[in-house]
Structure 1
Amino acid sequence: MSDDLLHTSLYDLHQRSGAKFVPFAGYAMPVQFAMGVKREHEHVRQRCGLFDVSHMGQILLHGNQAAMALEQIAPIDAQGLKTGRQRYGLFTNNNGGVHDDFMAVNAGDHFYLVVNAARRSADLVLLQTGLGEDVEIEVLEDRALLALQGPEARTVLSELCPEVGEMIFMDHRRVEIEGVPTWVSCSGYTGEDGYELSVPKEQAETLAQRLLSFESVEPIGLGARDSLRLEAGLCLYGHDLDETTTPADANLGWAIGKARRQGGEREGGFPGADVILTQLANRDSPRLRVGLQGETRTPVREGTLLYDEADVEIGQVTSGTFGPSVGAPIAMAYLERAWTERNQTVYAEVRGKRQPMQVSAMPFIKPRYYRG
C-alpha cells in the first residue's frame, strides 16, 4: 500500500479489525474484513453493517442566496427543498453530461452537500466559479462520515438516540449520540433502511466502536458496498456516470426537479439545459442505462461489450458482479434504445464466449427505505 495514500480517522480501527485495504479515490480504504465480501453483503441485507465513507467530500454553502445559486449549476429543485430534508442532485456540464452526483440537505441557515471523493476537487472548482460572491463555501476537513445500514439499523441507532427512530427516508437531523454531536440523514447506498452519520473526526472512532459493540453490527468494506449498491440499482460515478453521460441516458430524469423542467420562471438555467430538457421531452437519447441479469452463472464485469443475435455490438457494461441476494450475475449497462425493453436477450462477450443476459428491471431487489 502506497505511503502517499490518505487515511480516514478510522484507519487504525480498521487495521485492528482485520481489514484488507485497497487504494480508492486517493485513500487506503477497507475492501473487506474477516467475514469476506459475500458474507458482509448478506449480513447487511439480514442484519446491520457499519461502513466508513469518510473519503466523501462534505461541504457547507452559507448565504441567503445559496439555494438559488445552487440551481445555477445543478438542475436540482433546491428552493423547493424543505428544512430538514435531503435530495439527490446532479452537477451537469455545458454538453448535458454529468459532472458529478451529490446529496444536498437544507439545514435551515445553510446547505450541506456530500459529494463523491474522486470528484471533490473538481466539484469545489465548480462551486467556487459558479455560485457567485454571495455564497460562502466551507469545506469540512474535520468531520468523518459513517453509514449504518440494514434492517436492524433503526433498532440499533434508536437505542443510542431514540429520536432518530422517527426519521423517514431523506430526513436530516442534528442530534447528540452518547455525547457525540452528529448530523444524521436517513439514507444510504445499499437499498436498505439506515443512516449516514457525519461526526467530528476526533470522535469518529468512539462512535464507531460503540456501534460495533452491538451484536448485530459488523464492519463492512467497499467490496460489499459495491455489490449492495448495484443490487439497489444505484449509480457509481466514474463507472455508470461520467461527463459524456446525460441524465436522460442514465434514466435519471427524476433527479431533474419538476420546477426546473415543466415551464415557469425556474425552468432550465443550468449547464446543458437545452440538451437535457430536449432529450427528456422527446425521449430520444440514443442509449439508456438498463439492468441486465445473467442466464448463466458467469459474472459479467465492467467494460464487457454487448451484442445482439446478429453479432452487432449494441452496448457496454458499466458495472457488473454476482448478486448474492439475487442469486445470479447482474449488471448495469448502456444499450442502444431499441434494445432496452425488458426481457429482451443480449449477449455479453466474456473470455471469447457469448453469455446470454436478459434486460431486467432495476433495482434488482426491492428497496426497504423507511417512509413512515
Structure 2
Amino acid sequence: SEEELLKTPLYDLHIVKGGKIVPFGGFSMPVYYEDLNITESHNWTREKASLFDVSHMLQHNFAGPGAANFLASITPSSPKALAPFTSTLSAFLHPDGGIVDDTIITNISSGWRDQFYVVTNGACRAKDKAFISDALAAWRRDSQHGEVSWHTLENNGLIALQGPLAAEILQSLEPKKDGHELDLSTLHFGQSAWLTFGDVLSGEDKSACLVSRGGYTGEDGFEISITGSDHSNPTQTLTEALLRYAGPEKLRLAGLGPRDSLRLEAGMCLYGHDIDDTTTPVEAGLSWIVAKDRRAQGGFNGSDTILQQLKAKKDGGGVTRRRVGIVVEDRAPAREGAKIVNEEGEEVGVVTSGGPSPTLGKNIAMGYIRDGLHKTGTKVGVVVRNKTRPAVVTKMPFVPTKYWKGKGAA
C-alpha cells in the first residue's frame, strides 16, 4: 500500500510537478512527469539535460584501516589502487561468483583516514545490508584484519543531472571546492569532489555535497549526494535551484521510464534483470571490473570460479553463456523473458531487457546467449508474440557514450 512505501526527499516535489508515481524498490518513485512522456523525456536528456531522483539508491560509508581490504574481500576490485576521489564500477560477489549487487566504489580518503563511498541499488536494500553485515561479522572474527566502520547514509539525497547541458547548468550554481569556484571541465568522468553551493545551500544546509562525474544514461553528467537534515530539505532546495537557474528550456525532471531506456541504449545492466545472484561478471560481459592485480592474486569472494572463467578455453576456461546486445529487425519489441533462437529455431538464450530505442528508432534488447553465438553480427531470432522475429547480435553500447574525459579526449 501507499503507506508502506518509503518516500525520497523529493517526493513532495514529484507530486507538485505532476510525477506519475509507482512503487519501485520499496519507494514511491516517478515514472515520468506530465510535461513530457517517456520518449520525449528520453530525447530531452540526449539533447539538453534532465534531473533524476535516485535517492532510493542506498549510500554507504566504509572507513578505517581495514576498509580497503574488506571491500577487496567481497568485490573483484582493488580499492587500494583507486586514486583519491576516483570511482570504479564493481560488484558484491557471492562465494560462488554470483553477483549480489552491482555498485560504484569511490575512494574519498583524505590524509590519515581511509574512507570509501559506495552506492548500491535501492531494490536490493535489505539484501545488501544483510550481505554486508554477515561479511563484516566474518571479517571481524579474524583479529589480524584491520578495523572497519560501516554505516548507511539513510538521510542523504541523491540526484543525477544528465545530458549535454549538465555541466553548463551545474556551473551556473558557482560550485566551490575548498572555498574557490571549481571549473567543472577539470572534473573528468569517474572523478569526484566535495563541493559547496553557497548561494543555494546556506545556514545549516551548507555542508558540502559529494559530486561525482558520471551516471547511468551514457551522457555526460553528475551524481550529487546531499547530506540530509532533520529541519530542512537541502535535496529539494538544490533541485529547485537547478531547475530555476537552468529554466525549463534547458532542464526538466525525468523519471524511471526514460532512465531505463537510456541505460539500455548505453548497454548498462539493471540488477534483477540483466544480472543477478546466478550470473558471474564474466558471463555478464563485466570481466573488466576484475582488477589486474586481483587476477594474479585472487582472494576475493568467487575468485576461484571467476579466475577459471577468465582463462582461455584450451586451458579449461570460458563460460557457457554470455550477455549480448541484440537489434530486432522488426517492429515488435522484444521484452524480458523472450526466447532467443538460432537459425534452426533451437532455443539458445533469453532476453533480459528490451524495448524501443528512441534514439535509434529500432527495437533493441540485451540478454544471454549460448557461448559461440555471442559474436557481433551473428544472426538469431527472438520469439515475440509466438512469432520468430529476425535479429542480430550487436556490439554495445547501442548509442555511443559521451562521457567527459577532458578536452580532446576520446
TM-score scaled by length of structure 2:
0.88
Deviations 1:130-158 (A, max 9, x none): 24341011111110100000000011001
- Report the counterpart of residue 85 of structure 1 in structure 2: 86
Q: CA deviation at 1:56?
A: 0.3
Q: Deviations over 1:320-344 (max 9, x none)?
A: 0100011100001100012111111
Q: Which moved more, 1:198-207 or 1:239-248?
A: 198-207
Do residues 9 (structure 1) and 9 (structure 2) align?
yes
Whether contact under 8 Å (1:240, 1:319) holds in the other structure is yes
1:303 and 2:337 aligned: yes
1:240 is aligned to 2:241 = no
Q: Residue deviations 1:250-286, cap 9 Å, x none?
A: 010000111100x2xxx11111111101101125100
Task: Give the distance between the partners of 2:359 and 2:397, measured in 1 at CA.
Answer: 12
- Tell me the distance in 1 between the aligned counterparts of 2:66 and 2:298: 18
Name which of structure 1's ranges 7-16 and 193-202 shifts more when overlaid on structure 2: 193-202
Looking at structure 2, the residues matched to 159 and 166 of structure 1 have their Cα atoms a distance apart, in angstroms, of 15
Partner of 2:241: 210
1:168 to 163, 188, 194: 188
Partners of 1:173 and 1:121 lie apart in 2 by 29
Q: CA deviation at 1:2?
A: 2.7
Using the TM superposition, give the Cα deviation of residue 186 of structure 1 relative to its aligned residue in structure 2, in angstroms: 0.4
What do you get for the CA RMSD once the two structures are aligned?
A: 1.1
Structure-to-structure mapping, 1:125-144, within 5 angstroms? 125-131=130-136, 132-133=139-140, 134-144=147-157
Out of 261, 267, 274, which is 2:304 matched to? 274
Task: Give the whole-Å Cα distance in 1 for the aligned partners of 2:62 and 2:274.
Answer: 27
SS in 1 for 2:79: coil
Kindly provide the amino acid, as one letter, of the partner of residue 307 in structure 2: L
Structure 1 contact 155–165 (Cα < 8 Å) conserved: no
1:22-61 correspondence to structure 2 within 5 Å: 22-34=22-34, 35-61=36-62
Shift of 1:3: 2.1
Bigger shift: 127-136 or 53-62?
Answer: 127-136
Q: Which of 385, 388, 397 is the matching residue for 1:351?
A: 385
User: Is the partner of 2:372 in helix, strand or coil?
Assistant: helix
Query: What SS does the aligned partner of 2:271 have?
Result: coil
Does structure 2 conserve the Cα–Cα contact (< 8 Å) formed by 1:158 and 1:165?
Answer: no
Pair 1:120-2:150 in alignment: no
Q: Structure 1 stretch 73-82 or stretch 43-52: which is displaced more?
A: 73-82
Match of 1:94 in 2: 95
Helix, strand or coil: the match of 1:129? helix
Aligned residue for 2:80, secondary structure, equals coil
- Report the Cα distance in structure 2 between the residues aligned to 1:172 and 1:126, rounded to whole angstroms: 27
Aligned to 2:214: 187
Q: Return the alpha-carbon distance in structure 2 between the equivalents of residues 339 and 141 of structure 1.
A: 44
Which of residues 134, 156, 159 in structure 2 aligns to 1:146?
A: 159
Q: Is the Cα–Cα contact under 8 Å of residues 128 and 137 in structure 1 kept in the other structure?
A: no
- Aligned partners of 1:98 and 1:243 also within 8 Å: yes
TM-score by length of structure 1 reads 0.97
Distance 2:118 2:251 in 1: 27
Q: Which moved more, 1:195-204 or 1:182-191?
A: 195-204
Separation in structure 1 between the aligned mates of residue 134 and residue 86 of structure 2, nearest angstrom: 26
CA displacement, residues 69-92 of structure 1 (integer Å, 9 cap, x when unaligned)? 111111111110111111111111
The aligned amino acid for 2:365 is A
The one-letter code of the counterpart of 2:157 is: A
- Indicate the residue corresponding to 2:318 in structure 1: 284
Give the deviation of 1:64 after TM superposition. 1.4
Q: In the alignment, what sits opposite 2:169? A: 156
Structure 1: runs of 5+ lacking an equivalent: none
Query: For residue 143 of structure 2, what is the aligned residue in structure 1?
Result: none
Counterparts of 2:305 and 2:235 in 1: how far apart (Å)? 43
Separation of aligned partners in 1, 2:155 and 2:266: 31
Which is further off, 166-175 or 155-164?
155-164
TM superposition outliers: structure 1 runs of 4+ over 6 Å: none
Question: 1:348 Cα deviation (Å)?
Answer: 1.0
Larger radius of gyration: 2
Residue of structure 1 in register with 2:227 after alignment: 200
CA offsets per residue over residues 139-197 of structure 1, 9 Å max, x none?
11110100000000011001112513320001011110233421100010000000000
Please identify, of 127-136 and 353-362, the stretch whose mean Cα deviation from structure 2 is larger: 127-136
Letter of the structure 2 residue corresponding to residue 210 of structure 1 = A
Once residues 129 and 63 of structure 2 are traced to their aligned partners in structure 1, the CA distance between those partners, rounded to angstroms, is: 14
Partner Cα separation in structure 2 for residue 234 and residue 36 of structure 1: 22
Q: Report the counterpart of residue 363 of structure 1 in structure 2.
A: 397
Bigger Cα displacement from structure 2, 42-51 vs 306-315: 306-315
